[in-house]
A and B are shown apart, each in its own frame.
Chain A
């Protein structure tokens, strides 16, 4: 605001005071971010860091609270085993949530497909590989049905999958007669169905094939989501469907494949669940859909779509497993475990909201 004598226009008298005033009042300040802001910015760029930090801290804390038993390789491998099924479902759930959708039917698809595999192999005597394959096809069909209703009939994913959850649940009970297929029967007729229950002993740790399968599924999905155009489309649709469509992405087609792939992952989970449970149990995993959403949310994938890494839900599932195991070893009652997971979920979403508010 220095004086320019050659100015075409003479300054008016009342403006003279401006020269001595502070000219920095309306400047953007990039240099002096508070620590809080820095953290917020960092997390905005790396949303998976929240669950990773929580996981590390909870492992350390429970190591102290629950004692050395918690850190035993045996216990750590057991946690992996116990979260493997919910982890696989969380992977399926993440795909859908990344598109700003939600899939309440993942657990029901999984149990239904395990029943189909079991009934085909045991009751109808279909060779086990074929029964498993039929389950996979069924999973894709069930998922694609969700996708079709969401994209073609244009119903909200919440409503569609709320409906199909009930439909698949009813079919499951009808096909199974609510009766489990016993472990001994499976051993006799279709031992392949129990494949993922087998384990490799590494020292005192027992790593089941099911836990390894979970890791493989996450790795494959991570690759697909980050290194294929389909994967980038999924993020684009979740971020802004209209914009994605305008940039030439066939959003409806992609969405149907997202739900279909989620269905396939659930069906793979179905095979793994038979190994984990030891029998085909139509009454198991009734809360699996909600547990999978919990894992996804704690894993830092935004329920509003388009943001978060697929690795997050794996960490999320492990956090839930670590909490349950740690609280149990510390002798805490079941209901307080449920209580803790409830708070964890709310805090996770609160953190997500806070990160989203970041100013650029």
Chain B
């Protein structure tokens, strides 16, 4: 009798387990997507890509996200849950690219493939692969565009650089340094923001990547030099904030604002002349290709290759502008709108 009861209980438990959606079936490949937040349109698009690829390839996808950008703890817990769930691979956009490395190693030791999306880990080979925008190139494109747009006047430009946060994550450094290189500034150490001594640089300030920060940072740099005529911004919300600051000074005319991202409001701002040019990236592709790579790895044991000449897989970047210049390839605002995210 006791045994029968026990058997029934175990049977019920087994049934219960089968009903839990996330418990991967033996033949199904599990994958996890861990983003910085689940509300930023960039990551929403990523989730869209991952979901579409999972449906197409019969992958069991779980998604996790931090509460805000910079929420490292939640991401650590997400990776731990993911290891415990028996998934085959993790797609990760890390909030803290250095601190996440030990727990990523734990996942890899447990036999999972870890692919960093959008944001490379530090060092980059802490992940099995990185699917990302070439952020240095994204910066370089807008730098080249701004220099070409100014022509001879580029030699005595006054440049403001609106970066992300004081901790300067890799994306911050890559875009900032890429922009300067594209503009024709000697960047010295490409891993360090602010070691340049070019007289054209008015200064750097941080924006937290939002409008409020962009406005305040722009106001601060205008205080140092009201003749600023080129503004590099880490992303489009910061660019919109910078424009508001310029407008409040009555100085929005004749200042070139360049940015990176290619979100829909950002592309609209290119159309409206707020932003001169922006480098568009493709989060949907990153996640879509990431899921395919996990499947391929689970079936064949092959890790994804890197793009030639780079230490990661480049998911592509295009300059969006309605004022194309010679020598810098770009796409139109219309095409940018078709491919924008958010």
> What distance in Å separates the Cβ of B257 from its nearest Cβ neighbour in chain A?
13
> What distance in Å separates the Cβ of A307 from its nearest Cβ neighbour in chain B?
32
Stretch at the interface among A218-226, A278-286, A295-303, A308-316: A278-286
B265 CB–A CB distance under 8 Å: yes
Asked whether, in the complex, the Cβ of B68 is within 8 Å of the Cβ of A286, the reply is yes
Docked pose: A12 CA to B191 CA in angstroms: 92
Considering the complex, give the chain B residue whose CB is closest to the CB of A337: B166
Which residue of the partner chain, among A82, A285, A338, contacts B219 with CB atoms under 8 Å?
Answer: A82
Which residue of the partner chain, among B205, B210, B243, contacts A281 with CB atoms under 8 Å?
Answer: B210
Chain A residues, Cβ within 8 Å of B265: 179-180, 182
Interface size on B (CB < 8 Å)?
34
B223 CB–A CB distance under 8 Å: yes
Docked pose: A182 CA to B206 CA in angstroms: 21
Docked pose: A197 CA to B247 CA in angstroms: 11
> What distance in Å separates the Cβ of A105 from its nearest Cβ neighbour in chain B?
15
Asked whether, in the complex, the Cβ of B166 is within 8 Å of the Cβ of A206, the reply is no
Chain A residues, Cβ within 8 Å of B237: 180, 281, 283
Asked whether, in the complex, the Cβ of B211 is within 8 Å of the Cβ of A206, the reply is no
Considering the complex, give the chain A residue whose CB is closest to the CB of B237: A180
Asked whether, in the complex, the Cβ of A179 is within 8 Å of the Cβ of B41, the reply is yes
Chain A residues, Cβ within 8 Å of B342: 179
Question: Restricting to B244-276, which residues have a CB under 8 Å from any CB of A?
Answer: 244, 247-248, 265, 268-269, 272, 274
> What distance in Å separates the Cβ of A107 from its nearest Cβ neighbour in chain B?
11
Secondary structure dominating the interface of A:
helix
A356 CB–B CB distance under 8 Å: no
Docked pose: A333 CA to B268 CA in angstroms: 34
A75 CB–B CB distance under 8 Å: yes
Chain A residues, Cβ within 8 Å of B247: 278
Asked whether, in the complex, the Cβ of B248 is within 8 Å of the Cβ of A178, the reply is no
Asked whether, in the complex, the Cβ of A329 is within 8 Å of the Cβ of B215, the reply is no
Which residue of the partner chain, among B44, B209, B211, contacts A277 with CB atoms under 8 Å?
Answer: B211
Which residue of the partner chain, among B211, B220, B224, B268, contacts A278 with CB atoms under 8 Å?
Answer: B211
B240 CB–A CB distance under 8 Å: yes
Decide yes or no: A173 and B244 within 8 Å by CB, A69-B223, A277-B215, A278-B215 being known contacts: no
Asked whether, in the complex, the Cβ of A197 is within 8 Å of the Cβ of B248, the reply is yes
Docked pose: A197 CA to B243 CA in angstroms: 13
Docked pose: A276 CA to B215 CA in angstroms: 9
> What distance in Å separates the Cβ of A7 from its nearest Cβ neighbour in chain B?
80
Decide yes or no: A334 and B166 within 8 Å by CB, A78-B223, A281-B237, A283-B237 being known contacts: yes
Docked pose: A351 CA to B219 CA in angstroms: 33
Asked whether, in the complex, the Cβ of B240 is within 8 Å of the Cβ of A183, the reply is yes
Which residue of the partner chain, among B44, B166, B212, contacts A335 with CB atoms under 8 Å?
Answer: B166
B39 CB–A CB distance under 8 Å: yes
A41 CB–B CB distance under 8 Å: no
- Which A residues have a C-beta under 8 Å from some C-beta of B? 69, 75, 78, 81-82, 173-174, 177-180, 182-184, 197, 199, 206, 208, 273, 276-279, 281, 283-286, 325, 328-329, 333-335, 338
- Which B residues have a C-beta under 8 Å from some C-beta of A? 37, 39-41, 44, 68, 166, 205-206, 208-213, 215-216, 219-220, 223-224, 237, 240-241, 243-244, 247-248, 265, 268-269, 272, 274, 342
Other A-B contacts than A276-B212, A279-B211, 12 sampled, CB-CB below 8 A, are A75-B223, A174-B39, A178-B44, A206-B248, A277-B211, A278-B247, A281-B211, A283-B40, A284-B212, A286-B208, A325-B223, A333-B166
